[in-house]
Every structure is written in C-alpha cells, then in structure tokens.
Amino acid sequence: MLRNLVYTRVEPILTRSAQFCSERKLSPNQLTLAGLAVNFLAGWAYSGGLFILGGVLVLAASLGDLLDGPLARLTGKASRFGAFLDSTVDRYSDFFLFGGVTYYFAQEESWGWCLAGLGILLGTFVTSYAKARAESLMGSCPVGIFERPERILILLIGSFIPPLFGWALAILLIGTHVTALQRIFFVRRSLS
C-alpha cells in the first residue's frame, strides 16, 4: 500500500540513483546482499538497546532495498531469481531486526515486550508466507494493509523517537497479524 503511494513520487530519484550504481558497476544482487549485511548490524544495534543507531542502519539498508529493483530493470538484469533472492533476504532481514529487538527485551527481562517481539516475528513471517502461498494458488494477492514498507516505516518512527518505541511495537504486532488475516480471508473468498 505505502509502496504504491510513494513509489511514483520517488521513481525519478530512484532511476537517477540506479544509474549512479550502474556506472559504478554495482549489481542488483550486490545491493540486496549489502542491505542484508546492514540489517544484520541494525539487529545487533537493537539487541543492545541502541535504537537510534538501529534506525539509522535500517534507513541505510532500506535505500539498497529500494534501489535493487530499479537497478535490475535499468541494467536488464531483472530476473525471477533476483526477485526470489530479494524476498528471501527480506525474511532474513526481518529476523535480524525483530530478533534483535526481542533479544534486547529478553536481556532486560521485560517479558511482555519480549513476547510482543516474538509475536511480531511470527506475524511478519505469516504475512509473507500467506502472500507467497496465495500467489502460488491464484497468481496474485493484492490485499494487505501492513506490508514490509509499512513495517519498516513504523520501526523507524519508533527508533528515532524512543518514547514511541513501545507504541511502534504494539502497532507492528497488531498490523502484521491483521494483514495475515486479511490474506487468509481473501484466499478463502477467492477459492470458495
């Protein structure tokens, strides 16, 4: 949802940035894997309670995630494997980020927030799995109010405004599971 609203406005900037990356001989898969490495570092920052640093790193990793597709199209390297790699790396990145948050709250013995972190991890994976499975059954799954861009935006808001971090986690917990349920009900209606 957020991707569709924002992408058309930033597409010219992404195209110029992709051109810059192409001139430096960067490949789309290199950007994808670099984003994974930066998200690993962000997860480490979150695990130590360094929420602002985690947010800065997530923001940096998100730039790579925004650019890998335009770079692939610009250079003629768009492929089904690249799309698969991008989606798979996103799941690892989600684990690093929310696993780091969960670890932090476990170390602090803040068990309610620790459980919220585990719930966010579960919701994130079920949301993505439900979409992938629906697409394998029906070709598309155009529903879901809380996809990855929305999750990252909420995480960034909580990271940069630490007093809102708990609220961000609550929104992430609810939003991921609402999206999973939306997809389940969509598939049920479509296949009935």
**Active site members:** 90
Q: Give the count of beta carbons closer than 10 Å to the beta carbon of residue 33.
A: 15
Name the residue among 40, 146, 38 with its Cα closest to residue 98. Answer: 40
Residue 188, C-beta contacts closer than 8 angstroms, at least 6 positions apart: none
Residue 145: DSSP 8-state: S
Q: What is the torsion angle, in degrees rounded to the nearest 10, for the CA atoms of residue 185, residue 89, residue 26 and residue 34?
A: 130
